[in-house]
Amino acid sequence: MNEMLKASIYLKGILPLMEDLVAFDQTAAQAIKGKRLILQFEIKNGPSAHIIIRDGTICHGTGKHPLPSVRLTFKTPDLFNRMFEGEDVRPGLRKGIPHLYFLIKKFPILADRLTYYLEGAGKNATDPAVIDFQVKIGLHAMLCGMAAVATDDPDLRNIADSTPFGTLLINVLPDGPFGTFSKIRQNGNFIFSVSFNQPVKHANAVMEFASADVAKQLIDGKLNAVTTIGLGKDIKIGGLLPLIDKASIFLYQFDKVINN
Amino acid sequence: MSQKNNERYSYENSLNLFARAAKIIPEGIYGHQNPAFVIPGASPYFADRAEGGYFRDVDGNEFIDFLCGYGPVVLGHNHPEVENAVRKQMAKGSCFNHPGELMVQLAEKITSLVDLADWAIFAKNGSDVTTWAIRVAREFTNRKKIIMAKGAYHGAHAWCTDYPGGVLPEEKENILAMNWNRIDELEKLTATHPGDIAGIILTPYHHPTFAAQEMPVDGFWKKIRKICDREGILLIIDDIRACFRLDIHGSHEVFGIKPDMICFAKAMANGHPISTAVGRDRYREAAEAVFFAGTFWFSPVPMAAALTTLNILETSDAIPKMKQLGMRLKNGLEDLGKKHGYNVTVSGPSALPYMTFDDDPDLYHIQVFCREMIARGIFLHPHHNWFICAAHTDADIDYTLKTADKVFPIVARELGA
């Protein structure tokens, strides 16, 4: 297992879900109530990301923030991954002693609530609002995870190179959520980017789920995407299929890394 | 069997069968025949029978078959002479401890047809022979690296597949890629890896999926040959797809290529499973050093089919007929496109045409076009080149064009011209 890739996926694919979590879950919202800080995660010789906690919201960003309130540094990606998976790991605290209480007592609440919806008892919820939320964070994780793998997996560099430029729109009918995974040109090279519930000007390829229920089944691993597409009803695809083809390779790898 | 009427087709039996298949077969239908590669939910998934230039699916829908089993069917499905030869051999047996006389006869036939062929070996699929051929190049040169064109398909083996599942990076580390028609990139690769390139494997013309086909630019093959001679690199032609459809002596004759080895498969036994690699005498020793075996490769049944097919292709007007029918289809579709406000291009040799809309980089237009043609009994693949066979008729082309005349406006209504 490539620990650095896993760390990248956690930082770029899972950490962004905190944004959605505090907007939906009361317990999580309570945990950050009144807090105002910028929490930065850094892995030595590896990826970094930060979250900005302010006014009851969380905003995720990749890379280092110029003025973090707290800097958590990890000597190895393995240490970060173990912490992310709930083990009692002490990162280096470079900055932010005044926020120690929040880090020890409140931040784990966010992680616990996310786990509740993704893997815990909340996974079997029947409340439509919870299901909609799970679809939302599931789709968000898929998109961010695909981009993390496409950007950082050394074994899939050839696949990233040969991925066609363009935007794949993934949409849940009838009312969303929806998001995009794009390969775009930048400074003579390319990057992978995602958007979530933002207006889409043109999609080069489209994947549509017939309902939130179908999307949830796929996210929960209860539905095989390839055969469901073949059945022609619950998941429809169209447009630039090579883009969908490559995105599905990144998605498969994302799933493999976080479940191993 | 003949093409059906004006009803729009539906595919309930295909879909039901696929649902059953999905329970006990990974992906239901895997590889290039997976439904996602065509038009999911709007094309047949399972075939029932075929005759001449037509096939029938499990829903009883009949189609003019412009895919021909992805190429092997060159004379038409269920060709009486070929099938008679097959039945005769089947009556004698199909799997022996030893090859039959037919293997020698077939090798004699192929070496007499293909100018550079001093020897021939046989297998079952294209991948078998392309993979073996690059090993022969490595054995002959004592070098490691192989150059191929980006987007080219040489089979599903680890060295050449685009898909990473189960493939080790080490299996790809000696494979280099150049863009089609880019001699400058080839020069760069040979300069970067001097004395380390064993072979270049290329198709006679470029036939990627999801894109228009590309012919070689003027002087391409002469330059390739010159570089190979200068650098001591073997030139392997992967003629699996076009095979003997363009020329009974091989596609290299059409394009003026002077290869060292050639791989053939699809259009040599009219649908029966056999492939062959041929080469010059100087590579025989290396060929003998590369172990090559497969349980079913010596079966005389496909060899009987191959001998009969090659004889018919050699003595009939099948090859010029396919060329002429393909040209009618190409010109007709391009004219109809214009009539309906589209610039469409039918690329590739006329016997293996593929249509693209010029302003359709995302493939939406070709997908709607093919969906509607399929629904009216004309099987055109939206992402892979098409095939003309000798059983197709002028009436089939007329009907196809008449249908396309109705379908272009549907594309316009759905997506805009």
- The pLDDT, as a whole number, for residue A114 is 87
Domain end: A65, A98, A122, which one? A122
Is A227 an 8 Å CB contact of chain B?
A: yes
Tell me whether residues B361 and A249 touch, CB distance under 8 A.
no
Q: Give the gap in angstroms from C-alpha A239 to the nearest C-alpha of chain B.
A: 5
Q: Give the gap in angstroms from C-alpha B392 to the nearest C-alpha of chain A.
A: 30
Tell me whether residues A155 and B36 touch, CB distance under 8 A.
no
Nearest CA in chain A to B23: A227
The alpha carbon of B257 is separated from its chain's Cα centroid by a whole number of angstroms, namely 18
Tell me whether residues A204 and B361 touch, CB distance under 8 A.
yes
Select the residue of B34, B172, B361 nearest A230 (Cβ to Cβ).
B34
A89: CATH: 3.30.1050.10
What is the spatial distance between Cα B178 and Cα A96, in angstroms, rounded to a whole number?
Answer: 52
Q: Are residues A35 and A19 in the same domain?
A: yes
- The pLDDT, as a whole number, for residue A207 is 97
CA distances from residue A176 to A126, A172, B24 in whole angstroms, order as listed? 19, 5, 33
- Write out the H or E segment, with its range, that includes residue A109: helix A107-118
Residues 13-32 of A with CB under 8 A from B: none
Q: A204, A226, A254: which to substitute to probe chain B, counting the most B Cβ within 10 Å? A: A226
Q: Give the gap in angstroms from C-alpha B323 to the nearest C-alpha of chain A.
A: 30
Q: Give the pairing type, strands A178-186 and A166-172.
A: antiparallel
Contact list, A158 vs chain B (CB under 8 Å): 164, 172
Tell me whether residues A232 and B41 touch, CB distance under 8 A.
yes
Q: Are residues A176 and A115 in the same domain?
A: no
What is the spatial distance between Cα B274 and Cα B340, in angstroms, rounded to a whole number?
Answer: 43
Nearest CA in chain A to B166: A155
- The pLDDT, as a whole number, for residue A112 is 85
- The pLDDT, as a whole number, for residue A116 is 86
What is the spatial distance between Cα B204 and Cα A171, in angstroms, rounded to a whole number?
Answer: 41
CA distances from residue B96 to A237, B107, B271, B304 in whole angstroms, order as listed? 47, 18, 21, 15
Domain end: A122, A151, A170, which one? A122
What is the spatial distance between Cα A87 and Cα A81, in angstroms, rounded to a whole number?
Answer: 9
Q: Are residues A117 and A13 in the same domain?
A: yes
Whether the pLDDT of residue A96 is over 80: the answer is: no
- Write out the H or E segment, with its range, that includes residue A59: strand A57-62
- Give the length of chain B: 417
- The pLDDT, as a whole number, for residue B6 is 56
What is the spatial distance between Cα A32 and Cα A28, in angstroms, rounded to a whole number?
Answer: 7
List, in sequence order, the alpha helices (H) in B275-379.
284-289, 300-315, 318-339, 364-375
The interface pTM score, or ipTM, of the predicted complex is: 0.91
User: Which has more pLDDT, A61 or A99?
Assistant: A61
Neighbouring residues of B189: CB distance < 8 A, sequence distance ≥ 6: B147, B176, B178, B197
Count of domains for chain A: 2
Q: Are residues A72 and A161 in the same domain?
A: no
Nearest CA in chain B to A158: B162
Q: Give the gap in angstroms from C-alpha A254 to the nearest C-alpha of chain B.
A: 13
Residue B343, SS3 per DSSP:
coil
Quickly count: other Cβ atoms within 10 Å of residue B168's Cβ.
10
Q: Give the gap in angstroms from C-alpha B28 to the nearest C-alpha of chain A.
A: 6
Q: Are residues A12 and A106 in the same domain?
A: yes
| Structure tokens given for B354 | 């593929």
Contact B274, B303 (CB under 8 A): yes
What is the spatial distance between Cα B106 and Cα B1, in angstroms, rounded to a whole number?
Answer: 32
Q: Are residues A103 and A142 in the same domain?
A: no
Neighbouring residues of B414: CB distance < 8 A, sequence distance ≥ 6: B368
Q: Give the gap in angstroms from C-alpha B383 to the nearest C-alpha of chain A.
A: 9
Is the alpha carbon torsion for B10, B13, B17, B20 positive or negative? positive
Residue A195, SS3 per DSSP:
strand
Q: B17, B170, B363, B371: which to substitute to probe chain A, counting the most A Cβ within 10 Å? A: B363
Contact B327, B399 (CB under 8 A): no
Q: Are residues A146 and A222 in the same domain?
A: yes
| Structure tokens given for A136 | 């939302």
Q: Are residues A41 and A115 in the same domain?
A: yes
Tens of pLDDT, residue by residue over A138-181, are: 998 999 999 999 999 998 999 999 999 999 999 999 998 999 99
3-state secondary structure string across A201-238: CCCCEEEEECCHHHHHHHHCCCCCHHHHHHHCCCEEEE
User: Which has more pLDDT, A183 or A3?
Assistant: A183
Domain end: A74, A90, A122, which one? A122
Q: Give the gap in angstroms from C-alpha B23 to the nearest C-alpha of chain A.
A: 9
Q: Give the pairing type, strands B145-149 and B175-178.
A: parallel
Tens of pLDDT, residue by residue over A39-93, are: 899 999 899 999 999 988 999 998 999 988 888 888 999 988 888 877 776 766 6
Contact list, B41 vs chain A (CB under 8 Å): 230-233, 236
- Write out the H or E segment, with its range, that includes residue B398: helix B394-415
Tell me whether residues A204 and B172 touch, CB distance under 8 A.
no
Q: Are residues A60 and A76 in the same domain?
A: yes
Per-residue pLDDT of chain B (417 residues; tens, 9 = 90+): 444 555 689 999 999 999 999 999 999 999 999 999 999 999 999 999 999 999 999 999 999 999 999 999 999 999 999 999 999 999 999 999 999 999 999 999 999 999 999 999 999 999 999 999 999 999 999 999 999 999 999 999 999 998 999 999 899 999 999 999 999 999 999 999 999 999 999 999 999 999 999 999 999 999 999 999 999 999 999 999 999 999 999 999 999 999 999 999 999 999 999 999 999 999 999 999 999 999 999 999 999 999 999 999 999 999 999 999 999 999 999 999 999 999 999 999 999 999 999 999 999 999 999 999 999 999 999 999 999 999 999 999 999 999 999 999 999 999 986
| Structure tokens given for A158 | 């050839």
Contact list, B35 vs chain A (CB under 8 Å): 229-230, 232
Residue B10, SS3 per DSSP:
coil
Within a 13 Å sphere around the CA of A66, how many CA atoms are in the beta-carbon half?
0
Q: Which residue has the tokens 């080790």?
A: B168
| Structure tokens given for A163 | 């991925």
Tell me whether residues A224 and B22 touch, CB distance under 8 A.
yes
- The pLDDT, as a whole number, for residue A93 is 61
User: Which has more pLDDT, B245 or A133?
Assistant: B245
What is the number of H-type helices and E-type strands within chain A?
A: 11, 10
What is the spatial distance between Cα B380 and Cα A258, in angstroms, rounded to a whole number?
Answer: 41
Q: Are residues A247 and A169 in the same domain?
A: yes
Select the residue of B36, B165, B383 nearest A230 (Cβ to Cβ).
B36
Tell me whether residues B15 and A231 touch, CB distance under 8 A.
yes
What is the spatial distance between Cα A30 and Cα A45, in angstroms, rounded to a whole number?
Answer: 35
Within a 13 Å sphere around the CA of B379, how many CA atoms are in the beta-carbon half?
26
Residue B228, SS3 per DSSP:
helix
Q: By residue range, what is the domain housing residue A199?
A: 127-258
Of A110, A46, A101, A104, nearest in space to A79 by CA: A46
- The strands making up B145-149's β-sheet, listed across from edge to edge, are B119-123, B275-279, B261-264, B234-239, B197-202, B145-149, B175-178
Apex B333 CA angle, B269 and B371, nearest 5: 75
Q: Are residues A108 and A163 in the same domain?
A: no
Contact B388, B352 (CB under 8 A): yes
Tell me whether residues B40 and A242 touch, CB distance under 8 A.
no
What is the spatial distance between Cα A109 and Cα A106, in angstroms, rounded to a whole number?
Answer: 5
Select the residue of A159, A166, A233 nearest B164 (Cβ to Cβ).
A159
Q: Give the gap in angstroms from C-alpha A143 to the nearest C-alpha of chain B.
A: 20
Residue A152, SS3 per DSSP:
helix
Q: Are residues A118 and A143 in the same domain?
A: no
Nearest CA in chain B to A159: B162
Quickly count: other Cβ atoms within 10 Å of residue B276's Cβ.
24
Select the residue of B42, B169, B362 nearest A205 (Cβ to Cβ).
B362
Quickly count: other Cβ atoms within 10 Å of residue B338's Cβ.
12
What is the spatial distance between Cα B304 and Cα B82, in angstroms, rounded to a whole number?
Answer: 8
DSSP string, B115-136: TT-SEEEEESSHHHHHHHHHHH
Q: B18, B163, B172, B362: which to substitute to probe chain A, counting the most A Cβ within 10 Å? A: B362
Q: Give the gap in angstroms from C-alpha A221 to the nearest C-alpha of chain B.
A: 15
Is A159 an 8 Å CB contact of chain B?
A: yes
- The pLDDT, as a whole number, for residue A101 is 65
Contact A232, B40 (CB under 8 A): yes
Ordered domains of chain B (ranges, CATH):
12-65+317-415 (3.90.1150.10), 81-315 (3.40.640.10)
